[in-house]
Amino acid sequence: MPLKELLDPQGKAVEHSLHNLGFQATNVRIGKHITLKIEATSQEEATQKVEEACKKLLHNPVMEYYEFTVSA
């Protein structure tokens, strides 16, 4: 998700559109949803691998924050 302190123009445009439809939503923010499959022998190993992928490529700390869930 875009960092909370950053302007999210896309979210803002969608918020305006929602208002036009009569939905009084505020704070509309748009991020990305990524799903992926990995091989791991434990929940911990899977978590570690995803964390590494986030740090190396999937996430840019200058502009975004992330959270993830691991399920077998």
Q: Which residues bind other proteins (CB under 8 A)?
A: 2, 6-7, 9-10, 12-13, 32, 57-58, 60, 62-63
Q: Among residues 16 and 44, whose Cβ is nearest to other proteins?
A: 16
CB of residue 9 to other proteins, shortest distance in Å: 4
The DSSP bridge partners found for residue 2 are: 64
Report how far residue 25's alpha carbon sits from residue 21's, in angstroms, rounded to the nearest whole number.
10
Cβ contacts of 59 within 8 Å, gap of 6 or more: 65, 66
Phi/psi at 2 (5° precision):
-65, 140
Between 57 and 72, whose beta carbon lies closer to other proteins? 57
In the bound state with other proteins, the residue whose beta carbon lies nearer, of 26 and 42, is 26
